Amino acid sequence: MSTGAPDILLIDDSPTTADLFKYALKVNKSQVTIQAVYDGQAALDMLLGNGQPSSIGLPQLILLDMHLPRLDGLEVLTQLRAAERTMQVPVLIYSGSDADEAKAEAMQHGANGYVCKPAGFKETCVMIRQIEEQWLMRAD
């Protein structure tokens, strides 16, 4: 990971979700850092530099909501996979749908995995811990 980059970049239009994840990390006593971007186009601009070379470091993992305003999650994923800079960054699609069709579509667009939005806070803590254990390289 590059200097100054978060471990997880959350791309989700809900500030409440970002706050919930941050609190879950705190409750889990995790050292993982998370940064939220609330719009797919804003995330692409940040990661890809909007036509200019981007100096921001890349996260270890992108957690991407399937349904976003302006530019949906699958379009964001397609653009991330098409760009040399971000094509290798793991992306987990984060969605309220548990439908096999949604999962298959996400994988066809290049997602590395698919997680369903948890029903409550306890489940969110478990999900965050699993993501950390499965997707983030830890030095501890």
Q: Which helix (H) or strand (E) holds 115?
A: strand 113-116
Alpha carbons within 13 angstroms on the beta-carbon side of residue 64 total: 34
Query: What is the rounded distance in angstroms from the CA atom of residue 78 to the CA atom of residue 33?
Result: 25
**pLDDT, tens digit, for every residue of 34-50?**
999 999 999 999 899 86
Predicted confidence band of residue 81 (pLDDT cuts 50, 70, 90): very high
| Other CB atoms within 10 Å distance of the CB of residue 64 | 26
Predicted confidence band of residue 30 (pLDDT cuts 50, 70, 90): very high
What pLDDT score was predicted for residue 96?
Answer: 85
Predicted confidence band of residue 56 (pLDDT cuts 50, 70, 90): confident
What pLDDT score was predicted for residue 2?
Answer: 39
Alpha carbons within 13 angstroms on the beta-carbon side of residue 111 total: 22
Are 114 and 106 within 8 A, CB to CB?
yes
What pLDDT score was predicted for residue 1?
Answer: 38
Query: What is the rounded distance in angstroms from the CA atom of residue 11 to the CA atom of residue 75?
Result: 13
Are 7 and 33 within 8 A, CB to CB?
yes
Predicted confidence band of residue 62 (pLDDT cuts 50, 70, 90): very high
What pLDDT score was predicted for residue 43?
Answer: 92
**pLDDT, tens digit, for every residue of 85-139?**
999 999 999 988 888 898 999 999 999 999 999 989 999 999 999 999 999 865 4
What pLDDT score was predicted for residue 53?
Answer: 57
For domain 8-135, which architecture applies? 3-Layer(aba) Sandwich (3.40)
> Which one is predicted more confidently, 6 or 113?
113
pTM over 0.95: no
Give residue limits of the domains in the chain.
8-135
